[in-house]
Amino acid sequence: MPLADKASNLNSVECLPPPPKNTENFLNVNNNERKNDKMSTNSQEDDVSTEDQLTEVSTNNEKEYDLRELINEGHEKADPSQFELLRVLGEGSFGKVFLVRKIVGPDAGTLYAMKVLKKATLKIKDRVRSKNERKILADVGHAFIVRLHYAFQTPGKLYLILDFLRGGDLFTRLSKEVMFTEEDVKFYLAELALALNHLHSLGIIYRDLKPENILLDENGHIALTDFGLSKQPLDGSKTYSFCGTVEYMAPEIVNRKGHDFAADWWSFGVLMYEMLTGNLPFHGQTRQETMNQILRTKLGMPENLSPEAQALLRVLFKRNPLNRLGAGANGIEDIKVHPFFAKIDWDKLLVKEVRPPFIPAVSRDDAFYFDTEYTNKSPRDSPGGPISASSHEIFRGFSFVAPILLEHEDVAQDIQCNSSTSGLVRQFSNVGIPGVVPGNFFSEYNLSQELGRGTFSVCHLCEHKSTRKHFAVKIIDILAHDCTEEVEVLLRYGNHPNIVTLFSVYEHQNRAYLVMELLKGGELLDRILQVHKMCESEASAVMRTVIMSVAYLHEHGVVHRDLKPSNLIYASMRQTPDSLKLCDLGFAKQLRADNGLLMTPCYTANFVAPEVLKKQGYDLACDIWSLGVLLYILLSGKTPFASTPNDSPEVILQRIGAGTIDLTCGSWRNISTSVKELVQEMLHIVPDQRPRASQLLLHPWLQEQNPNDIRMTEDCGVTKEASQALRGAVNATFRAIAVPQAPANIGPVDQSKLAKRRAKDKIASS
pLDDT, tens digit (0-9, with 9 covering 90-100), for 646-698? 777 777 777 777 777 888 888 888 999 999 999 999 988 888 889 999 999 99
Asked if 492 and 531 sit in the same domain, the reply is no
Domain boundary, last residue among 493, 516, 539: 516
CATH of the domain at 16: 1.10.510.10
Q: Residue 742: what residue type?
A: A
Average pLDDT over residues 708-732: 79
Distance from C-alpha of 86 to C-alpha of 101, rounded to nearest angstrom: 7
Question: Is residue 500 included in any domain, yes or no?
Answer: yes
Domain boundary, last residue among 516, 533, 559: 516
Asked if 551 and 484 sit in the same domain, the reply is no
CA dihedral sign of residues 456, 494, 100, 222: positive
**605 has a pLDDT exceeding 60:** no
Q: In this predicted model, which residue has the larger pLDDT, 590 or 8?
A: 590
Phi-psi region of 3 (alpha: psi -120 to 50; beta: other; left: phi over 0): alpha
Average pLDDT over residues 406-430: 32
Angle made by CA atoms 380, 386, 390, in degrees to the nearest 5: 130
pLDDT digits (tens, 9 = 90+) for 53-66: 323 333 333 333 33
The pLDDT value given to residue 167: 77
Asked if 635 and 729 sit in the same domain, the reply is yes
Distance from C-alpha of 628 to C-alpha of 610, rounded to nearest angstrom: 13
Distances (CA, A) of 579 to 212, 365, 478, 637, 715: 44, 28, 31, 21, 19
Alpha helices in 341-449 (DSSP H): 346-350, 372-375, 389-394, 409-417, 441-444
Asked if 472 and 571 sit in the same domain, the reply is no
Is residue 319 a contact partner of residue 33, using CB atoms and an 8 Å limit?
A: no
Q: In this predicted model, which residue has the larger pLDDT, 729 or 624?
A: 624
Is residue 83 a contact partner of residue 157, using CB atoms and an 8 Å limit?
A: no
Task: Name the residue among 544, 543, 736 with its Cα closest to residue 640.
Answer: 736
pLDDT digits (tens, 9 = 90+) for 416-425: 333 332 322 2
Distance from C-alpha of 404 to C-alpha of 412, rounded to nearest angstrom: 8
pLDDT digits (tens, 9 = 90+) for 88-106: 877 765 678 888 999 988 8
Is residue 283 a contact partner of residue 247, using CB atoms and an 8 Å limit?
A: yes
Phi-psi region of 88 (alpha: psi -120 to 50; beta: other; left: phi over 0): beta
Average pLDDT over residues 296-314: 91
The pLDDT value given to residue 389: 47
Distances (CA, A) of 277 to 177, 246, 486, 685: 11, 19, 28, 31
The pLDDT value given to residue 138: 80
Asked if 526 and 474 sit in the same domain, the reply is no
CA 676 to chain centre: 40
Average pLDDT over residues 513-540: 92
* Structure confidence at residue 263 as a pLDDT band (50, 70, 90): very high
Asked if 497 and 545 sit in the same domain, the reply is no
Q: What angle, rounded to 10 degrees, do the helices at 621-636 and 673-682 form?
A: 140
Question: Is residue 492 included in any domain, yes or no?
Answer: yes
Question: Could you tell me the maximum CA-CA distance found in the chain, to the nearest angstrom?
Answer: 93
> Hey, which of 208-217, 325-334, 716-725 has the most confident mean pLDDT?
325-334
The pLDDT value given to residue 591: 64
CA 762 to chain centre: 26
CA dihedral 266, 272, 274, 277 (to 10 degrees): -130
Is residue 154 a contact partner of residue 399, using CB atoms and an 8 Å limit?
A: no
Edge-to-edge strands, sheet with 95-102: 83-91, 95-102, 111-118, 157-163, 148-153, 400-401
The catalytic position among 126, 169, 208, 761 is 208
Is residue 206 a contact partner of residue 224, using CB atoms and an 8 Å limit?
A: yes
Residues ≥6 apart with Cβ < 8 Å to 409: 74, 106
* Structure confidence at residue 44 as a pLDDT band (50, 70, 90): very low
> Hey, which of 145-149, 340-344, 761-765 has the most confident mean pLDDT?
340-344
Q: What angle, rounded to 10 degrees, do the helices at 182-201 and 262-277 form?
A: 160
Give catalytic status of residue 562 as yes or no. yes
At 224 the three-state DSSP class reads strand
Angle made by CA atoms 536, 537, 542, in degrees to the nearest 5: 95
Is residue 686 a contact partner of residue 624, using CB atoms and an 8 Å limit?
A: no
CA dihedral sign of residues 483, 487, 490, 493: negative
Asked if 574 and 703 sit in the same domain, the reply is yes
Distances (CA, A) of 631 to 538, 557, 567, 677, 706: 11, 23, 14, 12, 21
**286 has a pLDDT exceeding 60:** yes
Residues ≥6 apart with Cβ < 8 Å to 561: 587, 588, 589, 602, 603, 622, 623, 743
Is residue 626 a contact partner of residue 602, using CB atoms and an 8 Å limit?
A: no
Asked if 506 and 560 sit in the same domain, the reply is no
pLDDT digits (tens, 9 = 90+) for 107-136: 888 889 888 888 877 776 677 777 777 888
Question: What domain count does the chain have?
Answer: 3
Average pLDDT over residues 173-201: 85
For residue 504, which phi and psi values (nearest 5 degrees)?
Answer: -160, 160
The pLDDT value given to residue 404: 45
Asked if 644 and 677 sit in the same domain, the reply is yes
Question: Is residue 50 included in any domain, yes or no?
Answer: no
Distance from C-alpha of 398 to C-alpha of 66, rounded to nearest angstrom: 9
Question: Is residue 257 included in any domain, yes or no?
Answer: yes
Is residue 554 a contact partner of residue 623, using CB atoms and an 8 Å limit?
A: yes
The pLDDT value given to residue 414: 35
Question: Is residue 579 included in any domain, yes or no?
Answer: yes
Q: SS in 3 state form for 631-684?
A: HHHHHHCCCCCCCCCCCCHHHHHHHHHHCCCCCCCHHHHHCCHHHHHHHHHHCC
Asked if 553 and 568 sit in the same domain, the reply is yes
Domain boundary, last residue among 471, 493, 516: 516
pLDDT digits (tens, 9 = 90+) for 465-477: 988 999 999 999 9
Share of the chain above pLDDT 70, in %: 70
Task: Name the residue among 576, 124, 675 with its Cα closest to residue 391.
Answer: 124
Task: Name the residue among 219, 245, 334, 342 with its Cα closest to residue 44.
Answer: 245
Q: In this predicted model, which residue has the larger pLDDT, 67 or 520?
A: 520
Average pLDDT over residues 708-735: 76
The pLDDT value given to residue 499: 94
Average pLDDT over residues 337-365: 84
Asked if 473 and 529 sit in the same domain, the reply is no
Give the least confident one: 321-325, 355-359, 390-394: 390-394
At 428 the three-state DSSP class reads coil
Q: How many CA atoms lie within 13 A of 429 on its CB side?
A: 26
Distance from C-alpha of 471 to C-alpha of 449, rounded to nearest angstrom: 12
Question: Is residue 260 included in any domain, yes or no?
Answer: yes
The pLDDT value given to residue 170: 80
CATH of the domain at 509: 3.30.200.20
The catalytic position among 260, 562, 584, 761 is 562
At 145 the three-state DSSP class reads strand
Supply the range of the domain harboring residue 464.
441-516
Residues ≥6 apart with Cβ < 8 Å to 25: none
Question: Is residue 375 included in any domain, yes or no?
Answer: no
Give catalytic status of residue 371 as yes or no. no
Distance from C-alpha of 419 to C-alpha of 552, rounded to nearest angstrom: 26
The pLDDT value given to residue 460: 95
Average pLDDT, the chain: 75
The pLDDT value given to residue 745: 37
Q: In this predicted model, which residue has the larger pLDDT, 495 or 505?
A: 505
Distance from C-alpha of 307 to C-alpha of 60, rounded to nearest angstrom: 46
Beta-carbon count within 10 A of 410 CB: 8
Distance from C-alpha of 277 to C-alpha of 269, rounded to nearest angstrom: 12
pLDDT digits (tens, 9 = 90+) for 222-259: 999 888 788 877 566 788 888 888 999 999 999 998 99
Asked if 484 and 631 sit in the same domain, the reply is no
**335 has a pLDDT exceeding 90:** yes
